[in-house]
């Protein structure tokens, strides 16, 4: 079981700043370790490394992330020294917890986030907020797709039979394909007259209609067309 302290700054200027210097981070991390009787702390440093990178993608941080094992303790001074976003914080903390690694973020709590207390409460609350935001985002996306579809817009994927896509991205719309609309109308008429799906396929084949690939229509295609 090893205790690690992780410290990071993005630029040389930050390293010289008393408020965020590597030395100050190291001192605060060591102080938290002493509270728990941990005197041998291995300090891992990423100097001049952007916080926009995941911990696993940082030079020293990535090596540390892969090294951490059950029973180890990781201490950081502040949330933004280790994580790039709230989502990254929740996901990474959960991954470390699953591996049996104790994570302490000193500006939240001096106790591991896996134990009962302010730290665990904070992360539980943050996870709930993120899940709520994710749900709202998906709802907004679905509403946007439905609205676009209702206006004749294309929401992605292959165009349904009888239509083709014109435009790109947000400007993409579905327009009727005259040739395919003829086939679609004939298939619907056959089905409405009482023909089975198999019968519709056979009739279209006899009448010389083919699928987009140039082969006789398959039942699955017909089902999408006439139902």
| pLDDT tens-digit series, residues 127-176 | 666 666 667 766 765 665 665 556 555 555 666 777 777 777 666 777 77
Residues marked as catalytic: 10
Q: For the segment 185-218, what is each residue's pLDDT rounded down to a tens digit? A: 888 888 888 887 777 777 877 877 755 444 445 4
Return the structure tokens found at 199.
């019968």
Are residues 8 and 118 located together in one domain of the fold?
Answer: yes
Label each residue of 169-222 as H, E or C. HHHCEEEECHHHHHHHHHHHHHHHCCCCHHHHHHHHHHCCCCCCCCCCCCHHHH
Residue 11 lies in a domain: yes
> What percent of the chain stands above pLDDT 70?
70
Query: Rounded to whole angstroms, how far apart are CA atoms 159 and 165?
Result: 6
pLDDT at 67: 94
Are residues 95 and 43 located together in one domain of the fold?
Answer: yes
Are residues 125 and 24 located together in one domain of the fold?
Answer: yes
Query: Rounded to whole angstroms, how far apart are CA atoms 147 and 143?
Result: 6
Number of independent structural domains in the chain: 2
Cα dihedral 102, 106, 110, 112, rounded to 10, equals -20
Residue 224 lies in a domain: yes
Length of the chain: 227
Residue 55 lies in a domain: yes
For residues 79 and 108, the answer to whether their CB atoms sit within 8 Å is yes
Question: Which structural domain, as residue segments, surrounds residue 170?
Answer: 153-227
Predicted structure pTM score: 0.55
Please tell me whether residue 105 adopts helix, strand or coil conformation: strand
Return the structure tokens found at 163.
């239509």
**Average pLDDT over all residues of the chain:** 78
Single out the residue in 95, 129, 163 at which a domain terminates: 129
Query: Rounded to whole angstroms, how far apart are CA atoms 46 and 65?
Result: 13
């Amino acid at each position: 079981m090893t205790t690690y302290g992780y410290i990071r700054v993005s630029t040389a200027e930050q390293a010289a700043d008393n408020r965020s210097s590597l030395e100050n981070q190291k001192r605060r991390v060591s102080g938290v370790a002493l509270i728990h009787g941990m005197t041998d702390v291995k300090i891992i440093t990423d100097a001049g490394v952007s916080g926009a990178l995941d911990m696993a993608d940082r030079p020293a941080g990535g090596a540390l992330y892969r090294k951490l094992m059950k029973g180890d303790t990781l201490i950081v001074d502040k949330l933004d020294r280790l994580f790039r976003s709230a989502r990254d914080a929740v996901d990474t903390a959960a991954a470390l917890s699953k591996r049996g690694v104790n994570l302490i973020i000193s500006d939240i709590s001096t106790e591991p986030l896996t134990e009962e207390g302010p730290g665990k409460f904070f992360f539980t609350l943050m996870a709930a907020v993120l899940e709520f935001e994710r749900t709202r985002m998906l709802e907004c996306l679905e509403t946007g797709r439905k609205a676009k579809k209702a206006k004749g817009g294309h929401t992605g994927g292959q165009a349904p039979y009888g239509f083709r896509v014109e435009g790109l991205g947000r400007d993409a719309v579905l327009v009727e394909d005259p040739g395919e609309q003829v086939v679609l109308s004939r298939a619907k008429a056959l089905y409405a007259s009482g023909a089975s799906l198999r019968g519709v396929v056979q009739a279209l084949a006899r009448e010389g209609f083919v699928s987009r690939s140039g082969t006789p229509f398959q039942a699955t295609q017909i089902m999408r067309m006439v139902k």
